[in-house]
Amino acid sequence: MNPTVKFNPRLMWDYSITKKDLQNEDVLILYISRVLDNGTLVDVKGVPLELVDKYLDRLYLSRSVRTFWEWYLKRVPVKPKAGEL
């Protein structure tokens, strides 16, 4: 099960998506992409770092945002995923 994501429907202005839809991995990836590219600090804090790390290669991000997260994740320890100790 994925960690809980705080959902801001305003970031999905062009889709009819609810928090329940985030259970679908493709929708979750789209939502995280929107948060990192267009969200506020409050929105970004609502996405667990483990999910950013897990999906970074699949996120739809601007070049500058992707570069930041690649840099950041190399410097900040991310909690190990279940079963990866």
Q: Rounded to the nearest 5°, which phi and psi values hold at 82?
A: -55, 130
Would you give the end-to-end CA distance of the chain in angstroms?
18
Give the mean model confidence (pLDDT) for residues 16-29: 94
**pTM, full prediction:** 0.86
Q: Is the pLDDT of residue 78 over 90?
A: no
Instruction: Supply the DSSP symbol for 27.
Output: H
Q: Where are the domains of the chain?
A: 9-75
C-alpha span between 80 and 31 (Å, rounded)? 23
Is residue 74 helix, strand or coil? helix
Residue 85 binned pLDDT confidence (cut-offs 50, 70, 90): very low
**Inter-residue contact 7 to 31 (CB < 8 Å):** yes
C-alpha span between 62 and 67 (Å, rounded)? 9
